[in-house]
Amino acid sequence: MHLSADDVRSLHKYDIRVLQSLEYLMNRYDWVPVEELIKNSKLSASEVNFRVRRLADKGMIKFSQIPYPGYCLLYNGYDTLAVSHLVQKGTISALGTLVGEGKESLVYEAMGTGPVILKFHRVGQRSFKAVQRSRGFLPDKGHCPWIFASHYSAEQEYIALTNLYKTVSVPIPILMNRNIVVMSHIAGANLNAVTLADPEEFFNEIIVAITEAYRLGFVHGDLSEYNIMTDGQHPVIIDWPQWVAPDHINAQEILDHDIRTICQFFQRKYQMKTNPDELRGSVIG
């Protein structure tokens, strides 16, 4: 179920308070007992019972009797808290349409002072263990619900964009809250969907971007034709949550994979001959 702007607008301040209490208490509980929710929200038992039924109907929270009666926050509830914060801050005034959906994210258009992009990070149950193994920002032990793993994922992407955007062609970061990164709207299409007039020059610009990112301490980690956007002339590299630092134990292997993936795409589509090993050497310097 995707987030509904109408559902967000229809929420009462007590609905938001219950969502905030669940968010806080899920640091300690897989399923938050009702009595804890009543205590933390400082609402009456009857008010909390009314609100949880309403929120469950909207797909924002879930109830379970096992292993004990309790509630947990779902992605739509977590998304709602983030969107509400962004509206209060004046960062966005309207939520637009869903424009992209990946394994670990949803991408919406929105309106701020102009068009912006909201990227909702959603590290799901199936991908969580793989992400936990491959990304240093997730704890190895302890209670880490998938929604909070998504917060860490968003934070990593925001860190990368904040450090890169002045030098490397990436979306401009505007604000981050919980699992949402607000960034500049990029006009254009993914590299796989266009035919370049000058593929050699475009390829060289990608290598320059990889080199500059490496110099600034970032190896993308999942670079392909699907996360490079273009207006037909210049590349914009997107999707940075899985970045690693150059001193990461697997950084050279990851960098090599990024470069080979791009080389293979240009070989396949434009019959360009490149040398990935030489290119990796030039990136490292």
**Beta carbons of 135 and 111 less than 8 angstroms apart:** no
Strands, sheet with 105-111, edge to edge from the N-terminal-most edge strand: 94-101, 105-111, 115-121, 180-184, 173-177
CA distance 72 to 19: 9
- Residue found by looking up tokens 């938001």 in the block: 16
Per-residue pLDDT of the chain (285 residues; tens, 9 = 90+): 678 888 888 999 999 999 999 999 998 898 999 999 999 999 999 999 999 999 999 999 999 998 889 999 999 999 999 999 999 999 999 999 999 888 889 999 999 989 999 999 998 644 444 544 455 555 544 455 778 889 999 999 999 999 999 999 999 999 999 999 999 999 889 999 999 999 999 999 999 999 999 999 999 999 999 999 998 789 999 999 999 999 999 999 999 999 999 999 999 999 999 999 999 999 998
Task: State if pTM tops 0.75.
Answer: yes
